[in-house]
Structure 1
Amino acid sequence: MVPSYFFAHGAPSLVIEEHGYTDFLKSFAKDKVKPKAIVLFSAHWESTIQSIGAVDTYSTIYDFSGFPEQLYQITYPAHGDAALSDQIQTLFAEKGIPSRLDHERGLDHGAWAVLKLLYPDADIPVIALSVNRNLTNEQQYQIGQALAELREQDIMIIGSGGTVHNLRRIEWGANAAADWAVSFDQWLKSKLETWDLEALFNYREEAPYGKDSVPTSEHFIPLLLAMGTGDRNRQAKLVYQDYQMGTLSLSCWKFE
């Protein structure tokens, strides 16, 4: 069974940066069997109904501005998989989750910046999935649960977002992580490793600096989605943790 993963995607420039986290992402696939396909929830595709990518070949969306010109030259022309898109819609329907197929949208930077580092050849079919911040945290988890059986088909499920993601509290030029950001991530680690769903579903109220770390939920939601796919075994492992600019968390979680 293929594990599911949560990857922080940092800033759009992640894909051209050089540091410990990008080294980790570039080496991620070296000792792993290539998955049959990748199903990816991106924090940067928001929709009020669960949307499922169903394109033949994805365009590359540059959903940012003011970054180096080099970024706008990067492409990630991954292919879709129509049969898998249909299967995902069926799995959602079986759990009473409304969904729609999207035949036009390309990959945003929450998807392609991570995938370009993990699998640079774009030779694995990708199904992009949206997130909906209007749902409860329990409903987010249930969406992940609905896709769990895909892991038995050599399909990797990825949530791409960020745990501590407050752009207004970035500390430019900081050499160390802010105490409050570390405090939140440490709390999160303890609750993920013990699979404390009640606490996690109420993280904004229960976690130290919950509202500072997660001022809006769209970047946190992919973590709950990826976690939900691991409900059967309930094993979470922090694979990587670091910070940029004092507060921007760069983490990878694996769910067995």
Structure 2
Amino acid sequence: MALPITETFYISHGSPTLSIDDSLPARPFLKSFQDKVFAQKPKAILVISGHWDTSYPSVNVVQRNDVIYDFYGFPDKMYKLKYPAPGAPELAKRVKELLVESGFKRVDEDKKRGLDHGAWVPLMLMYPEANIPVCQLSVQSKQDGTYHYNMGKALAPLKEEGVLIVGSGATTHNLRALRNMGGAVVPWAQEFDNWLKDALLEGRYDDVNHFQDKAPHAKMAHPWPDHFYPLHVAMGAAGENAKAKLIHHSWDLGCMSYASYQFTTAS
């Protein structure tokens, strides 16, 4: 029987070059994940990635995960990387069951989709053995933070079943604003990032659910919310009394925050 898991995680995966670029501080952080952050081996991993955006919640129901190279114009060697993690069809069915039971009237099954780079790039660093079954769940960017928080709440029982829930996105995600600034950070990104850190560490999860009204520069930080909603799922799965912890922080290209968080369920 799998040991219960009391943590959920939100990982900022940033640029696809995280897969090869050792100059990015987030890369050694993720490579040390098992040694320094979370030593327990999960039965399976559920990844909610900002790169799978659908009208209704969808899970991939496959026996073996193929890699999706959903990025363009990067070095050739990135298109040769593999992460052949087993699929988790039983977990996918369980995710669907829990969501339907919680009032999500429609949950789709995708029997062909593998893992997009929001899933396989961080997992390749966190669990390079690729021997843990992985299921992916989509976000719905036309919904709001509370919707995704409630999605996480519905999935909370998975932790008792030994499933590690990982939201993968970006704490700030405005690709049009990226600039090489020699390590400097633009003020709007810093202010949004600081607001989020304070809100999470103080347990103001309802403010985070309504970030578009509460946070400074919310529209600049997230012109589209797809990369932020995985945070809400991880947060909801941990519970309203969960303790948040900042487990990594770094910047790239002036406004891309790699802030990542751990949520520990209150005992």
TM-score norm. by structure 2 comes to: 0.92
CA positional deviation for 1:173 = 4.2
Q: Report if the CA contact (8 A) 1:161-1:223 is conserved.
A: yes
> 1:1-256 alignment to 2 at 5 Å?
1-18=5-22, 19-31=24-36, 32-97=39-104, 98-256=106-264
Q: What amino acid is aligned across from residue 196 of structure 1 in structure 2?
A: R
SS in 2 for 1:238: strand
2: CA distance, partners of 1:255 / 1:198: 15
CA positional deviation for 1:86 = 1.3
2: CA distance, partners of 1:103 / 1:184: 38
Number of residue pairs matched by the alignment: 256
- Range with bigger deviation, 218-227 or 172-181: 172-181
Q: Report if the CA contact (8 A) 1:148-1:230 is conserved.
A: yes
TM-score norm. by structure 1 comes to: 0.96
CA positional deviation for 1:233 = 3.5
Structure 2 gap segments, 5+ residues each = none
SS in 2 for 1:84: helix
Q: Report if the CA contact (8 A) 1:54-1:80 is conserved.
A: yes
CA positional deviation for 1:88 = 1.2
Q: Report if the CA contact (8 A) 2:65-2:87 is conserved.
A: yes
- Range with bigger deviation, 133-142 or 202-211: 202-211
2: CA distance, partners of 1:155 / 1:30: 19
SS in 1 for 2:119: helix
Q: Deviations over 1:53-108 (max 9, x none)?
A: 11000111111111001100001111112221111111111101121221100111
1: CA distance, partners of 2:205 / 2:13: 24
Q: Report if the CA contact (8 A) 1:193-1:236 is conserved.
A: yes
Q: Report if the CA contact (8 A) 1:9-1:162 is conserved.
A: yes
SS in 1 for 2:58: strand
Structure 1 gap segments, 5+ residues each = none
- Range with bigger deviation, 123-132 or 165-174: 165-174
2: CA distance, partners of 1:109 / 1:82: 20
2: CA distance, partners of 1:198 / 1:189: 14
CA positional deviation for 1:194 = 2.2
RMSD after superposition: 1.2
- Range with bigger deviation, 150-159 or 173-182: 173-182
CA positional deviation for 1:2 = 3.5
CA positional deviation for 1:136 = 2.2
